[in-house]
Amino acid sequence: MKKVVIIGAGIGGLATALRLKRRGCDVTVLEQADTPGGKLNEFRQTGFRFDAGPSLFTLPSLVQELLAEDAGRFTFHKLDRSCHYFWDDGTRFTAWADKKKLSDEIQKVFQVDPAPTLQHLKKSEFLYRYTAKLFMERSLHKIGSYLSKDVWDAFVRVHRLQLNESMDEVNRKRLNHPKLVQLFNRYATYNGSDPYRAPGVLNIIPHLEHNIGTFFPRGGMYQITQSIYQTAKAKGVKFHFNEGATRIEVNQKKVSFVESAKHRYPADIVVSNADVVPTYRYLMKDQEQPEKILSRERSSSALIFYWGIQREFPQLHLHNILFSDNYQQEFEHLFKGDHPFEDPTVYINITSKCQPKDAPSGMENWFVMINVPANTGQDWSKWIPVLRKAIIEKINKNLNTDIEPLIVTEHRLDPLSIESKTGSYQGALYGTSSNDKMAAFLRHPNFSSKIKGLYFCGGSVHPGGGIPLCLLSARIVDDLSAKAHE
């Protein structure tokens, strides 16, 4: 029985633990926090429940596949709309799941033919069909990944994969209204990137939301964590909380032990679900460092306010976007400037819209987020009050309200606390950015080519950040380790 030590109980680590346990391994998970989930966590405050991290749920089939015979412990429902959109000029748009309703909404709100948008979504489906197998479901760093028919099908269509144009360039060519361009540009933020630099192939993302759908798990997003954790625990995975790894010991180019402050764990296989930068910098200081990968541009971070609101807003739904008036300038600040943009796009997630018990009667639980640069030494004590004021002003303008007196409880997460709580280097939410046409190939692979038995999963490595990609990273590690250790 192979001894496996997994560092970190984020969603990628939990999924890997369950997969390797099912394969017959002896699996131990070390987690520095006192609960599983990493960013995919929850907390309660003065009668309100908040999902602390990821708030969008797509591709539920990945969770069902992972849970297998235990999938019945996890339930969810499909939403009739993906998001409500707001602009400062008073424009309001609902992105309905039903294509007929979506078409009617486009025509009514933007006064344009909906056909180009629907065609854009068909092309998004095309991208998914011909790129998912390679870019999302296989290691890009193994020759065997390129020896299948579906991969060659993608390569013969490479001229249609939009690698040489930015998302924004593609969207401007295809869509017939500037606000629709802005709406589809925002999908670059799903992996912390810049639509004005990220390749057009990222237009794969709208397919997940508009063609497959958005969903809500019963009990909230944290039930994804709990369902996988409870299943893994029932299968015999050993979890040690409040016990972070301190060192990965390598002997003769092979993993041998993982140390914590409490114990020394022998290992045939080590899987790091921790951010790849601290994995090398702190856990493997004596090993060769992959400097090119570790020094790549980081994704965006976030400033999040969790507010208990003592009123209900019927014009809002689960997912809501209040757009910046200057989207391109906002991204220039995110990736090229030295401070956040003062007219940020505001995202509001309200789970009490789907699950009323998450807030007291007549109230709502608001998860209010803006994208901000990764932490490189900015004075956040100066910027947080400025940005909080800007957020409130945008909400007041778009909802015709005064939100400040309605806030009855508040909690905050910022780049510094994201890094300290989750170990994400510089507080970046998705590891490295995808602001390069070769970005997918430049992420750290799911294995080490220099150290036998060392693997990587989670949002800082291939295939990227977000729940679906973290779950796929676990599947890739399972496949790679099975072939290497069978």
Q: Taking the CB of residue 207, how many other CB atoms lie within 10 A of it?
A: 21
Structure confidence at residue 163 (pLDDT):
75
Q: Is 111 exposed, middle or buried (0-12, 13-18, 19+ CB in 10 A)?
A: exposed
In the structure, what pLDDT confidence band is assigned to residue 143 with cuts at 50, 70 and 90? low
- Give me the mean pLDDT over the 346-366 stretch: 98
Distance CA 41, CA 183 (A): 28
| Residues 70-85: tens digit of each pLDDT | 999 899 999 999 999 9
- State the CATH class of domain 41-97+300-429: alpha beta
Q: Which residue in the block uniquely carries the two structure tokens 């390749």? A: 199
Structural contact between residues 302 and 329, judged by C-beta atoms closer than 8 angstroms: no
DSSP letter at 188?
G
More confident residue, 173 or 157: 173
Q: What are phi and psi of 398, to 5 degrees?
A: -80, -30
Structure confidence at residue 151 (pLDDT):
63
Distance CA 64, CA 23 (A): 18
Distance CA 292, CA 125 (A): 33
Percent pLDDT > 70 in the chain is 95
Distance CA 341, CA 332 (A): 9
Structural contact between residues 39 and 54, judged by C-beta atoms closer than 8 angstroms: yes
| Residues 392-406: tens digit of each pLDDT | 999 999 999 999 999
Cβ contacts of 91-96, under 8 Å, gap ≥ 24 = 91/179, 92/315, 93/179, 93/183, 94/317, 95/183, 95/210
Structural contact between residues 485 and 452, judged by C-beta atoms closer than 8 angstroms: no
Structure confidence at residue 122 (pLDDT):
96
| Residues 85-129: tens digit of each pLDDT | 999 999 999 999 999 999 999 999 999 999 999 999 999 998 888
Q: Taking the CB of residue 282, how many other CB atoms lie within 10 A of it?
A: 15
234 pLDDT higher than 70 = yes
**C-alpha distances in Å from residue 188, one per residue of 199, 230, 483:** 9, 33, 34
For residue 276, give the nearest of 436, 457, 142 by alpha carbon: 457
| Residues 149-166: tens digit of each pLDDT | 666 666 555 556 677 899
More confident residue, 122 or 338: 122
213 pLDDT higher than 90 = yes
133 pLDDT higher than 90 = no
Structure confidence at residue 131 (pLDDT):
80
Structural contact between residues 2 and 27, judged by C-beta atoms closer than 8 angstroms: no
| Residues 242-276: tens digit of each pLDDT | 999 999 999 999 999 999 999 999 999 999 999 99
Which CATH architecture fits 3-32+243-297+435-485?
A: 3-Layer(bba) Sandwich (3.50)
Structural contact between residues 410 and 400, judged by C-beta atoms closer than 8 angstroms: no
Q: Where are the domains of the chain?
A: 3-32+243-297+435-485, 41-97+300-429, 114-212
Q: Strand, helix or coil at 447?
A: strand
Structure confidence at residue 147 (pLDDT):
59
Chain Cα centroid distance, residue 394: 25
Q: Which two tokens stand for residue 420?
A: 């300290």
| Residues 453-465: tens digit of each pLDDT | 999 999 999 999 9
Structure confidence at residue 280 (pLDDT):
98
In the structure, what pLDDT confidence band is assigned to residue 319 with cuts at 50, 70 and 90? very high
Q: Which residue in the block uniquely carries the two structure tokens 């994400």? A: 424
Q: What are phi and psi of 42, to 5 degrees?
A: -145, 165
Distance CA 393, CA 142 (A): 50
Q: Which two tokens stand for residue 386?
A: 């400025």
As a whole number, the mean pLDDT across the chain is: 94
pTM reported for the whole predicted model: 0.95
Structure confidence at residue 290 (pLDDT):
94
Residue 231's region, left for phi above 0, alpha for psi from -120 to 50, else beta, is alpha
Angle between helices 167-174 and 178-185 (to 10 degrees): 150
How many residues would you count in the chain?
486
* DSSP secondary structure string for all residues of 218-244: TT-THHHHHHHHHHHHHHT-EEEET--
Structural contact between residues 278 and 8, judged by C-beta atoms closer than 8 angstroms: no
For residue 93, give the nearest of 309, 323, 312 by alpha carbon: 323
Longest Cα–Cα distance in the chain: 67
Structure confidence at residue 345 (pLDDT):
98
**C-alpha distances in Å from residue 248, one per residue of 241, 325, 334, 448, 455:** 18, 48, 34, 13, 12
